[in-house]
Amino acid sequence: MAKKQTDVIKIPVKEFRYEACRIIPQKEYSITEQPFYRPIENEVDDALAAYLDGKSVLLLGPTGTGKNRLVEYLNWRANKLLREQGDKTVIPLYKLVGNEDILTSELVSRGSLQKAVEEGILESCVREGGIFYFDEIFQARDELRTIVHEVTDNRGRMLSDPRQELVFRPGRTFGFFAAGNPMYLGPDQAMNRATMDRFFTIWMNYPPEPAEIEIVLKEGQVNEEIASALVKLAGETRKLKGSYGLREGASTRALVEAAQLYAQGMPLPRAVKGRIINTLTHDQGDLAKIQKALRDDSLKVPPIIFGEGNGQK
C-alpha cells in the first residue's frame, strides 16, 4: 500500500522523555562499539598502518565525507587490537575543533604563567596514551602549529612547561590525527610546508555512487530507491560547484540526515529542501537559481525528490 504522506512526523511520542546530559570524563571517552564505516579506497588500512607505526595522519577533504567517522572507527579498531592481546584498557579519544580562540596553553601547559600548571588537552591525551583528533586544523591559530610540529616529530616528542623540565615521549597507543577542508583556506591559514611534510596524508572525497548509496541505505534506514535518488541529487549539486556561488555540493552527512527525516515520516521534498538544498548557500537569490537548475531536464535529478513519482518506503 502506498504510504500516505501526512504532516505528522512519526516521532515515537511514548518514548519521548525528559533526559539531561550525560557527562563522561574525557579520559574514559573511547569508541568501544563498532561504528559503521564504509571504506572507499585503502584509507582504513593505510591510516591504521600509519597509526600503528607512530605516524601522524592528515585527512583532507570537503565537509561530511567521513573524516570524523574514520577516526572513530580507527579508535575502535585499536581498542579491538588491544583486547585481542588480552588487554582490556581502552584508548581514549580526544577531539578538538580548531578555531581562533584556542590558545597554545590549552593544548600544553607550556606558556602558562600560573603557578599551578594546568594540564593542556593534548598533554593529557599524550599522558593517557590516547588518540587526538584535531579537526578544522586550518582554522586554528598559527602558534598552535608549533605544537603540532613537535608532536608530529618522529614518533612524537612534546615539550612541557620548561619550568617542569619535562619532555614527553608518547607511548605506542598515542595517535595524532588532523583534518581540514582546504577549500576554505584563508590567506594565512595554509599549513607551512615543514608541518605538512610530517603527515601521512589522505584525501577524503565524496564516495563513488554505489558506496554512497550503501552509506545512505545503512545510516538513513531508507530503501534503495530513496537512497539512490538522494545520491543522484547530491551528484548534481556537486556538478554545480563553481556556479551560483557554490563552493561545495551536498555532503554525505546531509544525505544521511535527510534520509533519516524521511524515514521518520517527513515528506521527501521537505526533508530534501530543509536538510540538503537550503544548506547549500545563505544567499536566497542563488538558492532560487540552484533550485531551478536542479529541476532542469538536462540534470538527472529523479522526480521523486520533488514529490513526483512514487516514493514508497
Q: Where are the alpha helices (DSSP H) in 1-120?
A: 43-52, 67-84, 104-107
Considering the rule CB under 6 A, would residue 68 count as an interface residue with ligand ADP?
yes
User: Whole-angstrom Cα distance, residue 222 to residue 62?
Assistant: 24
Strand pairing category for 158-159 and 167-168: antiparallel
For 298, the grid coordinates are 538536462
User: For the window 206-245, what string marks contact with ligand ADP as x by the rule CB under 6 A?
Assistant: -x-------x---x--------------------------
Residues 148-207 that bind ligand ADP (CB under 6 A): 207
Range in contact with ligand ADP (rule: CB under 6 A) among 61-69, 167-175, 235-243, 286-294:
61-69
Question: Measured from the CB atom, is 5 or 63 closer to ligand ADP?
Answer: 63
Cell 584556542 sits on residue? 102
User: What is the smallest separation between the CB atom of 113 and ligand ADP, expressed in angstroms?
Assistant: 35
For 230, the grid coordinates are 538522494
Q: Are 226 and 304 in contact (CB under 8 A)?
A: yes
- Strands of the 56-60 sheet, one edge to the other: 93-97, 131-135, 175-180, 56-60, 199-203
Go through the chain and tell me how many residues it has. Answer: 313
Question: Measured from the CB atom, is 136 or 225 closer to ligand ADP?
Answer: 136
Considering the rule CB under 6 A, would residue 65 count as an interface residue with ligand ADP?
yes
For 34, the grid coordinates are 563498532
- For residue 133, give the nearest of 188, 68, 197 by alpha carbon: 68
User: What is the smallest separation between the CB atom of 19 and ligand ADP, expressed in angstroms?
Assistant: 21
Cell 536538510 sits on residue? 275
Neighbours of 250 (CB within 10 A): 27
Question: Measured from the CB atom, is 59 or 102 closer to ligand ADP?
Answer: 59
Residues 249-278 that bind ligand ADP (CB under 6 A): 252-253, 256
Considering the rule CB under 6 A, would residue 64 count as an interface residue with ligand ADP?
yes
User: What is the smallest separation between the CB atom of 250 and ligand ADP, expressed in angstroms?
Assistant: 11
User: What is the smallest separation between the CB atom of 73 and ligand ADP, expressed in angstroms?
Assistant: 8
Question: Measured from the CB atom, is 207 or 311 closer to ligand ADP?
Answer: 207
**Which residues contact ligand ADP (rule: CB under 6 A)?**
36-38, 40, 63-69, 207, 215, 219, 252-253, 256
